[in-house]
Amino acid sequence: MCASSSQSGSESRSKQPIDCPLCSHRADSQTDVYTHLLVSHRKSAIARELLDSNRAR
Ligand SMILES: [Zn+2]
Protein backbone atom coordinates (compact mmCIF):
# COMPACT_ATOMS: atom_id res chain seq x y z
CA MET A 1 0.00 0.00 0.00
CA CYS A 2 2.49 2.58 1.17
CA ALA A 3 5.29 1.40 -1.05
CA SER A 4 6.51 4.83 -2.21
CA SER A 5 6.08 6.75 1.00
CA SER A 6 9.74 7.74 1.16
CA GLN A 7 9.46 9.69 -2.09
CA SER A 8 7.78 12.91 -1.08
CA GLY A 9 9.33 15.04 -3.81
CA SER A 10 12.08 16.65 -1.80
CA GLU A 11 14.93 15.79 -4.12
CA SER A 12 16.18 19.27 -4.96
CA ARG A 13 15.73 20.66 -1.51
CA SER A 14 19.12 22.35 -1.23
CA LYS A 15 18.83 24.03 -4.61
CA GLN A 16 16.74 27.02 -3.65
CA PRO A 17 18.07 30.33 -4.90
CA ILE A 18 19.20 32.51 -2.03
CA ASP A 19 19.71 36.25 -1.96
CA CYS A 20 22.76 37.82 -0.44
CA PRO A 21 21.72 39.71 2.72
CA LEU A 22 24.13 42.54 1.91
CA CYS A 23 23.37 43.16 -1.75
CA SER A 24 21.08 41.99 -4.53
CA HIS A 25 23.31 39.11 -5.52
CA ARG A 26 21.49 35.83 -5.93
CA ALA A 27 23.09 32.40 -5.79
CA ASP A 28 21.87 28.87 -6.34
CA SER A 29 22.73 27.55 -2.92
CA GLN A 30 23.65 28.64 0.56
CA THR A 31 27.23 27.63 -0.08
CA ASP A 32 27.38 29.91 -3.10
CA VAL A 33 26.07 32.84 -1.08
CA TYR A 34 28.60 32.05 1.61
CA THR A 35 31.40 32.09 -0.92
CA HIS A 36 30.04 35.31 -2.41
CA LEU A 37 30.03 36.91 1.04
CA LEU A 38 33.63 35.91 1.62
CA VAL A 39 34.80 37.06 -1.79
CA SER A 40 32.67 40.13 -2.50
CA HIS A 41 32.20 41.56 0.96
CA ARG A 42 34.75 42.47 3.56
CA LYS A 43 34.46 41.11 7.03
CA SER A 44 34.02 44.62 8.40
CA ALA A 45 31.08 45.22 6.08
CA ILE A 46 29.44 42.00 7.17
CA ALA A 47 30.00 42.82 10.84
CA ARG A 48 28.59 46.30 10.37
CA GLU A 49 25.55 44.94 8.59
CA LEU A 50 24.97 42.53 11.43
CA LEU A 51 25.19 45.32 13.98
CA ASP A 52 22.86 47.52 11.96
CA SER A 53 20.23 44.82 11.59
CA ASN A 54 20.54 44.20 15.30
CA ARG A 55 19.99 47.84 16.16
CA ALA A 56 17.22 48.72 13.73
CA ARG A 57 14.54 46.61 15.27
ZN1 LIG B 1 26.48 40.39 -1.64
Ligand 1 mean position, distance from CA 2 (Å) = 45
pTM higher than 0.75: no
* Residue predicted with more confidence, 12 or 3: 3
Q: Residue 45 sits in which domain range?
A: 18-55
Ligand 1 mean position, distance from CA 12 (Å) = 24
Task: Give me the number of domains the chain comprises.
Answer: 1
Asked if the model's pLDDT at residue 11 lies above 60, the reply is no
**Could you please report the per-residue DSSP string of the chain?**
--TT-S--S-TTTT---EE-SSSS-EESSHHHHHHHHHHHS-HHHHHHHHHHHHH--
Residue 11 lies in a domain: no
What pLDDT score does 2 carry? 61
- Among the listed residues 42, 41, 4, the one whose alpha carbon sits nearest the alpha carbon of residue 23: 41
Ligand 1 mean position, distance from CA 33 (Å) = 8
Ligand 1 mean position, distance from CA 51 (Å) = 16
Residue 42 lies in a domain: yes
What pLDDT score does 57 carry? 67
pLDDT tens-place string over residues 13-53? 557 899 998 999 999 999 999 999 999 999 999 999 889 98
Q: What are the residues whose beta carbon lies below 5 Å from ligand 1 (ion)?
A: 20, 22-23, 25
